[in-house]
Amino acid sequence: MPMMDAQIRQCVDPTCRFRFPWTEHDPPALRCPRCGAPVDIVRTLPQRAEAGERECSALDGPPLAALLDNVRSAFNVGSIFRCADGAGVAHLYLCGVTPTPANPKVAKTALGAEQSIPCSHHNNAIDLARQLKAEGWRLWALEGGPAAQSLAGAALPAGAGVVLVAGNEVTGVDLGLLALCERTVAIPMWGVKRSLNVAVAFGVAVYALRFRWLNHSCFENRKLQVANNPSSSKK
Ligand SMILES: [Zn+2]
């Protein structure tokens, strides 16, 4: 990220005290956007450090890719790019009407991640799905419904790559595409709504699969340690 001036400003009116961030890219904010009173600069922000450690390489665990079919919102696609980057997704297949990084709205939410993840556009998701299956990828649809398995119980298969398939915000995953998927995984829902925003669902799903794999491999390492050094398991 480029260097930039960033501040926290706060309204001086004691009944308002509206507190908000300001950067040099924002319009001048000498007055409170809520009440119009003057504002103070209460804090100058240091450059934001890169949060989070690089936990593992994309090769840690089976490869993960994603197929977005007819995802309409460029903001959703941008969020998915950013999340895919974080979770070590190898490739994003963008199908049908799904916007590509050529759309500036994708870049706006992806914040650069759209340049770090290989992606390709395909007119017909079903043609692509058949090709990916022939190459040995397993297709998992991210979708609710009676046939869906809870994501909480879904473990990545060792040795085989999984393509997570997400569909349109309103109509869901195309039934023809769903029929080509080896399994359907759903996120457990506790509230009144039956589904999450597609980008949020995608984020939950890729991280759930990755965490599960990490725990699984830690468990395997532990077993290995115990096997090599039986005294370490004494109670
Ligand atoms: Zn104010």
Single pTM value for the model: 0.78
> Residue 125's beta-bridge partner residues?
none
Residue 9 CA neighbour count, 13 Å, CB half: 19
Supply the CATH classification number for the domain 64-219.
3.40.1280.10
Distance between Cα 208 and ligand 1 center (Å): 42
Looking at residues 119-139, what average pLDDT do you find?
96
The Cα angle at residue 175 between residues 65 and 150, in degrees rounded to 5: 60
Is the pLDDT confidence value at 88 over 70? yes
pLDDT tens figures, 205-223 = 999 988 888 776 655 555 5
Eight-class DSSP state of 75: H
Both ends of the chain: CA-CA distance in Å? 51
Looking at residues 56-63, what average pLDDT do you find?
63
Nearest to 121 by CA among 82, 147, 91: 91
The Cα angle at residue 132 between residues 175 and 101, in degrees rounded to 5: 85
Please give the pLDDT value at position 2.
47
Distance between Cα 21 and ligand 1 center (Å): 14
At 105, the amino acid letter reads K
Nearest to 96 by CA among 128, 65, 118, 64: 128
Distance between Cα 33 and ligand 1 center (Å): 7
Q: Percent of the chain beyond pLDDT 70?
A: 84
Distance between Cα 20 and ligand 1 center (Å): 10
pLDDT tens figures, 11-26 = 999 999 999 989 888 8
**Residue 200 and residue 80: Cα distance in Å, rounded?**
8
Higher-confidence residue of 62 and 142: namely 142
Please give the pLDDT value at position 227.
57
Please give the pLDDT value at position 58.
45
Q: Which of 55-59, 154-158, 190-194 has the highest mean pLDDT?
A: 190-194
For residue 18, give Cα distances in angstroms to 24, 33, 51, 169. Answer: 19, 8, 27, 35
Distance between Cα 40 and ligand 1 center (Å): 11
Looking at residues 119-131, what average pLDDT do you find?
96
For residue 24, give Cα distances in angstroms to 7, 13, 117. Answer: 9, 24, 29
For the chain, the domains span: 1-34, 64-219
Please give the pLDDT value at position 109.
87
Is the pLDDT confidence value at 54 over 60? no
Q: Return mean pLDDT, the chain.
A: 86
What's the token pair of residue 140? 């998992």
pLDDT tens figures, 137-179 = 999 999 988 889 998 888 788 778 999 999 999 999 999 999 9
Looking at residues 123-129, what average pLDDT do you find?
96
Phi-psi region of 97 (alpha: psi -120 to 50; beta: other; left: phi over 0): alpha
Distance between Cα 222 and ligand 1 center (Å): 56
> Residue 22's beta-bridge partner residues?
7
User: Would you list the DSSP string of 107-164?
Assistant: HHHHTTHHHHS-EEEES-HHHHHHHHHHTTPEEEEE--STTPEEGGG--PPTTS-EEE
Contact, 159 vs 62, CB < 8 A? yes
